[in-house]
Amino acid sequence: MSTSAPTSVIHDIGYKPYTGPRQGHGQIVRGLYVHSLRSVFGFGRGAKAKVVPFAVLAIMLFPAILNVYTASKGESLVMPYSLMAYRLFLFSVVFVAVAAPELVSRDLRHHTLPLYFSRPLRRSDYPLAKLLALISALLIVQLLPILVTYLGQAASATSGHQIWLDSRDAFPGVFVGVLYAVLFSTVSLLLASSTGRRVIATGVIAILFLVTTAISSVLQNAVGTTYQEHVTACVEPTVPKNNPGPRAFPVGEGDGPPVALVGRLCPGVDLRNGADIGGRLDPDKPGYADLTVHYETPVYSNVAKVGGMTNPVTIIEGTRIWVFHATDSDMPDPSPLGPAYAAELAVLALAAGGGLFLRYRKVSVS
Amino acid sequence: MSDNEQAIIEATALTMRYPGGVTALSDLTLSVEPGITGLVGANGAGKSTLIKILLGLLTPTQGRVRVLGLDARTQGERIRGRVGYMPEHDCLPDDVTATEFVTHLGRMTGLPPTAAKEQAAEALRHVGLHEERYRQIGTFSTGMKQRVKLAQALVGDPGLLLLDEPTNGLDPAGRDAMLALIQRIGTEFGIAVVVASHLLSEIERICDHLVAVEGGRLLRAASLVSMTRALPWLAVEVDEGTARLSAHLASTGLTVREQGRGLLVRVDEETVFDAVRDAVADLDLPLTRLEHRRHHVEELFADLEPEQGEPMEAQL
């Protein structure tokens, strides 16, 4: 026997049966949900997979950061809560057009589904986890700007009442964000689950949203809108109150006061579609001016109102207008079709979601 | 039956008719014991249908199935938690690493997060991909991909492995390595393995038991020794002098049959190869073919009556 100890030993560890805990069905579904949510934002993938989701998030946050800035200056918001999702809907489309194929088309393309369904997952678990993951991801994208704006407003608020008012303003934004998350997720996942080719899935999703946007835009604006002219006269001080400085605007020397000022001074005047403002000094009231404002307001026909039902984005916006009696929108008030918009939204989301579950019920395993 | 308790798979009068009227399995009764079991049958013989039923993914029209002591009709979910399945076709994403992929599927099997990582590393080590586990699967060769597929089935210590054509697309060397791996899993790891294949020649090398199905019916189920006793034959073809060679070989005590233009010599022991070589050399015949016969199942069972006593002999 040798007396010197061996310098190294090779261990063949061999096979060790696993004796630890095994998770139940619910925890497995949760695991798939978390994995899917991470993959939407490119975690666990290369750097390339993170570009689009984080670019979209940054763009969505940009107006919110401006809002925080203006709030700190005591000025009104650059982009109100309720219009954030609508004005930036294009980026939500980009987000789902990339995320939905990442979630479902990959597994179709690589035929990974048999590996899932030969495990304890049930047929409905897979689409459920994927759908919840995309809804959650889109909620993050929609609600983070609202949260940032809200926190900025709250930080600049001088009273509790102001925070309450701001909360009331923010609520429609949250509501709309949820609608976007649900409708965009169900529709885009259903489309993506029809093909294993990601490029095609992305294209189909983008085309669906953009083409219907174009259709509804044509129906609402070009076909369905006529303009009605209005003339309004109002009397306003030529110098700001409490500020005996230079005149706020020249009178009799051109086209009258700046548009922004008229909007604030003459209540009820809608200047969004262009206006012609004239003014002269009031002969009877020194220091005041008589303003004559010509402006136009759009009159929407039924074509415009129905046209809004052709596109997911305007369906959500119309529903918002109906639910909150909103007047700040860029699109025609759907009244009296408001309930129809809401119903269509519900039917669309349910049909797309149901279609998604049906699609995975018949998936073959071999 | 006395070994009822330790049967891994127990199917009784299993019939599967698809809605279209196609009968995939009819009255199939079989029992699979621990060890490595080969499931042979031509394409369309019902192998895939049987696997789906065993996983509880298809409900049989009639009959009972128990897998690992669980009823496949009602306890499919629990069965799938304890059975590893390796599909026939390509099923791997190419843009994730082997570790990530196997870990994720370990999670889907029901392993907690940390255990899934450990078990994935273990499974990849067992299939011989320890060094390459952080590489993207897209960079792997066919043989390595096949090993990843095996690793994902192996993760989480299954009680039974269902391998569907595990040597598909592999070159001879890769085939041998894969078969050796399966043999190791079946013997050293103590995991019951069912290998579905249409190549009997492969399966016969590693299996303890063989189940042959055709047209959805059980053709034969037996331990491998009894089934393939008559299998090894050496095909010899010479340009001329076939009769002389036949006589010469027969005179040395070998079993010789004529088949087509050549001869079949039964390989009873290793020395047969030498005897044939020497005979050809002694007679100075132009040898054109010397081949250890490999049989496809289609060929073996082509016009076989199941009742017949020694089908292998009869066919040859």
- Look at residue A207 and tell me whether its pLDDT is greater than 50: yes
B313 touches A at CB < 8 Å: no
Q: For residue B258, what pLDDT is reported?
A: 81
> Is the same domain home to A212 and A89?
yes
Residue A234, domain extent: 226-299
- Over residues A123-130, the mean pLDDT reads 94
Which one of A269, A299, A329 terminates a domain? A299
Contacts of A111 in chain B (CB under 8 A): 87, 89-91
The model's confidence at residue A357, banded by pLDDT at 50, 70 and 90, is very high
Chain B residues near residue A196 by CB distance under 8 angstroms:
none
Asked whether the predicted pLDDT for residue A162 surpasses 80, the reply is yes
Specify whether A84 is located in the same domain as A49.
yes
Residue B253 belongs to what H/E stretch? none
Are residues B24 and B49 in contact, defined by beta-carbon separation less than 8 angstroms?
yes
Task: Examine the pLDDT at B308 and tell me if it is beyond 50.
Answer: no
**Range 57-116 of A in CB contact (< 8 A) with B:** 106-107, 110-112, 114-116
Query: Which pLDDT band, with edges at 50, 70 and 90, does B305 fall under?
Result: very low
The answer to which of A190-204, A260-274, B212-226 has the lowest mean pLDDT is A260-274
Final residue of a structural domain among A246, A266, A299: A299
Is A58 part of any domain?
A: yes
CA distance A344 to A364: 33
Task: For A36, name the nearest residue in chain B, comparing CA atoms only.
Answer: B104
Band of pLDDT at residue B4, cut at 50, 70 and 90: very low
Contacts with A354 (C-beta within 8 Å, 6 or more apart), sequence order: none
Residues B238-243 have a mean pLDDT of 85
The answer to whether residue A1 is domain-embedded is no
| Same structural domain, A181 and A261 | no
Looking only at the bridges linking them, the beta strands covering B62-67 and B9-17 are antiparallel
CA distance B268 to B229: 10
Question: Is pLDDT at B316 greater than 50 in this prediction?
Answer: no
Whether residues A170 and A76 fall in one domain: yes
Whether A335 is covered by a domain: the verdict is: no
Which residue, chain included where needed, has tokens 């809200």?
Answer: A150
Residue A2 is predicted with a pLDDT of: 47
The region of weakest confidence among A88-92, A137-141, A293-297, B193-197 is A293-297
Among residues B120, B200, B189, the alpha carbon closest in space to that of B160 is found at B189
The mean per-residue pLDDT over the stretch A278-296 comes to 73
Q: In what order do the strands lie in the sheet with B287-292?
A: B256-259, B262-266, B233-238, B287-292
CA distance A190 to chain B (A): 21
User: Residue B256 — pLDDT band, cuts 50, 70, 90?
Assistant: confident
Please tell me the predicted confidence (pLDDT) of residue B7: 85
Residue A32 lies in a domain: yes
The C-alpha atoms of residue A106 and residue A113 are separated, in whole angstroms, by: 10
pLDDT of B79 reads 92
Which residues does chain B have within 8 Å of residue A107's beta carbon, measured at their own beta carbons? 93
pLDDT score for B213: 86
Q: How confident is the model at residue B263 (pLDDT cuts 50, 70, 90)?
A: confident
Residue A311 resides in a domain: no
Average pLDDT over all residues of chain A: 85
Phi, psi of A291 (to 5 degrees): -110, 140
Which strand ranges, in their side-by-side order, compose the sheet holding B160-164? B83-86, B160-164, B192-197, B36-40, B209-214, B217-223
Q: Is residue A202 part of a domain?
A: yes
pLDDT for the residue numbered B302: 46
Q: What is the pLDDT of residue A5?
A: 54
Q: Are strands B36-40 and B83-86 parallel, antiparallel or unpaired?
A: unpaired
Q: Are residues A264 and A235 part of one domain?
A: yes
pLDDT above 90 covers a percentage of chain B that reads 38
What sign does the CA torsion over A299, A301, A302, A304 have?
negative
Using the predicted structure, report yes or no on whether residue B292 has a pLDDT greater than 80. no
Q: Is residue A213 in a domain? A: yes
Mean pLDDT, to the nearest integer, of B257-261?
A: 78
Query: pLDDT of B149-170, one tens digit each?
Result: 999 999 989 999 999 999 988 9
| More reliable by pLDDT, A123 or A247 | A123
- Say what the pLDDT of residue A300 is: 81
Domain boundary among A245, A280, A299: A299
CB pairs under 8 A between A and B: 103
CB B264 within 8 A of CB B256: yes
The reply to whether A97 and A208 lie within a common domain is: yes
Query: Higher model confidence: residue A228 or residue B5?
Result: A228
| 3-state DSSP helix/strand/coil % of chain B, to nearest 5 | 35, 25, 35
One domain, residues A59 and A159? yes
| Residue B163 β-bridge partners | B86, B195
Does residue B291 surpass a pLDDT of 70?
yes
Confidence band, pLDDT 50/70/90 cuts, at residue B227: low
Tell whether A197 and A233 lie within a shared domain. no
Across-strand partners of B210? B38, B222
Higher pLDDT, B300 or B61: B61
- The confidence band for B236, taking pLDDT boundaries of 50, 70 and 90, is confident
Burial (0-12, 13-18, 19+ Cβ within 10 Å), A186:
buried
Residues A198, A290, single domain; the answer is: no
Interface of A with B in 5-44 (CB under 8 A): 14-18, 20-25, 27-28, 31-32, 35, 44
Average predicted confidence (pLDDT) for chain B: 83
Please judge whether B110 and A122 are an interchain contact, meaning their C-beta atoms are less than 8 angstroms apart.
no
Residues A270 and A137 in one domain: no
Q: Could you tell me whether strands B160-164 and B83-86 are parallel, antiparallel, or unpaired per DSSP bridges?
A: parallel
Q: What is the pLDDT of residue B125?
A: 94
The fraction of chain A above a pLDDT of 70, given in percent, is: 84
State whether A109 and A189 are in the same domain.
yes
pLDDT score for A261: 65
Quote the pLDDT of residue B121.
94
> Which residue did the predictor score with more confidence, B215 or B312?
B215
Give the pLDDT confidence of A244-284 residue by residue, as tens digits.
445 555 554 444 566 666 666 676 777 676 677 776 667 77
CA distance B90 to chain A (A): 7
A292 in Cβ contact with A279 (< 8 Å): yes
B251 has a pLDDT exceeding 80: yes
Could you tell me if residue A312 is inside a domain?
no
How many domains does chain A divide into? 2
Say what the pLDDT of residue A160 is.
87
pLDDT of residue A105: 94
Q: Are residues A72 and A94 in the same domain?
A: yes
Residue contact A365–B152, C-beta within 8 A: no
The answer on pLDDT for A305 being more than 80 is yes
